[in-house]
């Protein structure tokens, strides 16, 4: 039997086993950097398979599988483990057992698929060449990003991977499909925090105040010029103020207003130029309107860039495994992913796994209380990850 047929057969055979694992992970979600139970579960699984591993970034797990001629190539496969602070609304037997915490972004699926790939790759290690690094990563949903901590702790060394693959569920793509995109695929993401302090007072005597509500309102409007009058119209970027907090009653102008928001870009040079523009607008408005304004830009994840050569290799392998009708092109998204930290360091390929099934009523987006997947996707996800790990070649 060929390696491809062996992987497909094993992925189908083990489907029920790994659906049950996904149910366990889904029912027991943990927030970013608190994935202690999940980490222990992964460690126990790898130990039972006979796969050696180390711990990084406190809860991260890094497994190693050696095939024939281990030094010939090293490929990294990555999955994230953390959940979101969302109350699950699904009525399912494996509903989250933790109040206010839910795997609403599919990280339970990612972890399950990598565990399945690990089992298959280990069982077939005599049929492929090189070394596979399994990266079970914490904290994708929260700055500074678990990927940055794993890199800090040396996950890309000893041995250094020639390339890395990561997968994400896609709730707007039909189950059984996968999708890829070359080049820029996801945006950088920075968080904006602004505190405006100015003289408040009685609402009936606004002339005796500097009115931070008014100043904040001007600031929200002025910040829109960062993109509308400074960014190249063909350059994708987003600046959204998402929180305006100030005042508690009708007859008092407050002394302080807080704004929060996000800035996202697809170009790293423009990203940091925009930060300067934001600072200039904030400081200029503070001077003009008599306010004290504190600005903090929390630098978040970089853009996700899919290496063109690795993309070509991945698409060719996906077509060989699944057939051309099941391989699509991923759209550009302004969402962010800390996989970008890896793809800034080594050639990376971040692809999508279709999990939607309209006939079954499964179509809710990620980060919603009703997100779920058609679990037929799990065998596809396992097979795709195992196949790329075993066959994708990229010159080191």
Active site residues: 82, 140
Question: Beta partners for 56?
Answer: 60
Could you tell me if residue 121 is left (phi over 0), alpha (psi between -120 and 50 degrees) or otherwise beta? Answer: alpha
The two three-digit tokens of residue 3, written as one number: 């390696």
Question: Quick check: helix, strand or coil at residue 313?
Answer: helix
Question: Quick check: helix, strand or coil at residue 135?
Answer: strand
The two three-digit tokens of residue 350, written as one number: 């971040």
DSSP, res 362: B
| Whole-number Å distance between alpha carbons of 365 and 387 | 27
The structure tokens 């008599």 sit at 290
b/e burial code for range 28-52 (CB count within 10 A of at least 16 → b): bbbbbbbbeebbebbbebbeebebe
| Whole-number Å distance between alpha carbons of 193 and 203 | 26
| Whole-number Å distance between alpha carbons of 6 and 174 | 25
* CB count in 10 Å sphere of residue 71: 10
The two three-digit tokens of residue 75, written as one number: 């490929």
CA dihedral sign, ordered 17, 22, 25, 31 = positive
Torsion angle in degrees (nearest 10) through CA of 172, 109, 142, 346: -90
Q: Assess contact for 350 and 343: CB atoms under 8 A.
A: yes
Q: Which residues contact 72 (CB under 8 A, 6 or more apart)?
A: 129, 130
Strand stretches in the chain, DSSP E: 53-56, 60-66, 74-80, 131-137, 163-174, 178-180, 183-186, 188-197, 201-202, 237-245, 252-253, 256-265, 292-298, 304-306, 327-329, 348-356
Upper half-sphere CA count for residue 280 (Cβ side, 13 Å): 9
Terminal Cα distance for the chain, rounded: 30
């Amino acid at each position: 039997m060929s390696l491809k047929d062996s992987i497909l057969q094993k992925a189908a055979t083990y489907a029920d086993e790994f659906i049950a694992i996904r149910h366990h992970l889904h029912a027991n979600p943990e927030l970013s950097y608190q994935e202690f139970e999940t980490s222990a579960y992964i460690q126990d699984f790898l130990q039972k398979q006979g796969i050696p591993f180390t711990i990084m970034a406190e809860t991260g797990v890094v497994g190693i599988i050696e095939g024939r001629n281990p030094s010939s190539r090293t490929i990294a496969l990555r999955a994230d483990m953390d959940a979101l602070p969302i109350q699950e609304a699904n009525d399912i037997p494996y509903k989250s057992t933790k109040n206010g915490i839910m795997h609403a972004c599919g990280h339970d699926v990612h972890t399950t698929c990598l565990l399945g790939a690990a089992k298959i790759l280990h069982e077939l290690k005599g049929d492929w060449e090189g070394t596979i690094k399994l990266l079970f990563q914490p904290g994708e949903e929260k700055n500074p990003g678990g990927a940055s901590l794993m890199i800090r702790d040396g996950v890309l060394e000893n041995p250094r991977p020639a390339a890395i693959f990561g997968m994400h569920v896609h709730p707007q793509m039909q189950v059984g499909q996968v999708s890829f995109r070359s080049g820029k695929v996801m945006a950088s993401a920075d968080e904006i925090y602004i505190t405006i302090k100015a003289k408040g007072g009685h609402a009936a005597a606004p002339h005796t105040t500097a009115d931070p509500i008014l100043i904040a309102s001007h600031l929200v409007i002025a910040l829109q010029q960062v993109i509308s009058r400074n960014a190249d119209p063909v350059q994708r970027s987003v600046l959204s103020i998402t929180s305006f907090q100030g005042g508690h009653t009708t007859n008092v102008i407050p002394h302080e207003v807080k704004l929060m928001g996000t800035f996202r870009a697809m170009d790293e040079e423009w990203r940091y130029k925009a930060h300067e523009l934001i600072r200039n607008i904030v400081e200029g408005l503070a001077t003009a309107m008599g306010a004290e304004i504190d600005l903090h830009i929390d630098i978040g994840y970089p853009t996700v860039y899919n290496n063109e050569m690795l993309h070509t290799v991945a698409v060719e392998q996906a077509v060989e495994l699944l057939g051309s009708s099941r391989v699509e092109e991923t759209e550009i998204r302004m969402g962010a992913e800390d996989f970008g930290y890896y793809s800034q360091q080594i050639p990376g390929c971040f692809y999508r796994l279709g999990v939607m099934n309209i006939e079954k009523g499964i179509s809710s987006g990620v980060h919603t209380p009703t997100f779920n997947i058609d679990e037929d996707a799990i065998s596809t996800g396992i097979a795709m990850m195992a196949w790329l790990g075993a066959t994708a070649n990229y010159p080191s």
